[in-house]
Amino acid sequence: MSESYLGAKGGSGVYQAIINLMPPHETYIEAFRGTATIYSKKAPAQKSILIDKSQTTIDKYSYPEAINLCCCAIEFLENFEPENTTLIYCDPPYLHETRTSNARYEYEMSDEDHARLIETLKQLPDNVYVILSGYKNSLYHGLLYDWWSKEFQAMTRGGVRTETVWCNFEPSDIHYHAFAGENFTDRQRIQRKAARWANNFKNMPKAEQQAVLAAMLDI
């Protein structure tokens, strides 16, 4: 997927940081999908819905295995009734006050639109998890003061910027083990450790393997 798309999340360390926060879910919704990089990198859900106002973007970055909707994401979420445990990832256009370039989205959002989106997200049922990304700003700070948040570094057209993710839950269960870790070094450490343990397990006699598996299942 092309990083020339404004706000795309395909940069090294960006999509990993977001996916690493995801709790287990049956339905996945990516509002303001753009290139849908997060969707394309994460483990698949039973049902996935990708939303964007731009039919051009949907046609260019098509995912036939998902439900692709060309509509207003805010209106969709205002009328959304979850059937099961759902995760919504929202990556709306950056607030104008936070931008360092003159690049523009095909469909922009006003501060009032952002406030409407946040109020909609806050009113969703308890079985809906939300991850919202953007740059720190006073509007989000005021409306999301009671949400869990975390900052991470992202490479953009204008250089390295600090992005923030806000969650209506406190991340705990890792959704996709391949991205476990706080940063590249930590992810590399965990992957090496996992590979070492897997190799040790592979070299055990069958009886020892079964004993180890039984002990793990009791944890």
Is 73 a domain residue? Answer: yes
Same-domain status, 150 and 77: yes
Is 7 a domain residue? Answer: no
Condensed to tens digits (0 to 9), the pLDDT of residues 146-180 reads 999 999 887 666 667 788 999 999 987 555 555 56
Domain that holds residue 195: 186-217
Same-domain status, 34 and 88: yes
Alpha carbons 127 and 84: distance in angstroms, whole number = 7
Residues 6+ apart with CB under 8 A from 199: none
Is 196 a domain residue? Answer: yes
Calculated CA dihedral for residues 134, 92, 140, 179, nearest 10 degrees: -40
Is 4 a domain residue? Answer: no
Q: Report which of 135, 134, 154, 188 is spatially closest to residue 3, judged by C-alpha positions.
A: 154
Q: Which residues, in sequence order, are bridge partners of residue 199?
A: none
118: CATH: 3.40.50.150
Please state which of the ranges 35-39, 66-70, 135-139, 214-218 shows the lowest mean pLDDT. 214-218
Please state which of the ranges 7-11, 66-70, 109-113, 165-169 shows the lowest mean pLDDT. 7-11
Query: Which comes out higher in pLDDT, residue 153 or 184?
Result: 153
Alpha carbons 156 and 178: distance in angstroms, whole number = 24
Which amino acid type is present at position 6? L
Is 18 a domain residue? Answer: yes
Same-domain status, 192 and 107: no
Same-domain status, 142 and 205: no
Is 25 a domain residue? Answer: yes
Domain total in the chain = 2
Q: Report which of 138, 166, 126, 161 is spatially closest to residue 150, judged by C-alpha positions.
A: 166
Same-domain status, 168 and 114: yes
Is 40 a domain residue? Answer: yes
Q: How far is CA 217 from the centre of its chain?
A: 29
Same-domain status, 202 and 133: no
Same-domain status, 165 and 190: no
Kindly report the length of the chain. Answer: 219
Is 20 a domain residue? Answer: yes
Q: pTM of this prediction?
A: 0.77
Same-domain status, 84 and 190: no
Alpha carbons 172 and 165: distance in angstroms, whole number = 15
- For 192, list phi and psi in degrees, rounded to 5: -65, -40
Which amino acid type is present at position 11? G
Alpha carbons 174 and 141: distance in angstroms, whole number = 26
Same-domain status, 112 and 175: yes
Same-domain status, 156 and 195: no
Same-domain status, 198 and 148: no
Same-domain status, 138 and 152: yes
Structure tokens at 110: 């006003």
**Percentage of residues in the chain having pLDDT higher than 70:** 82
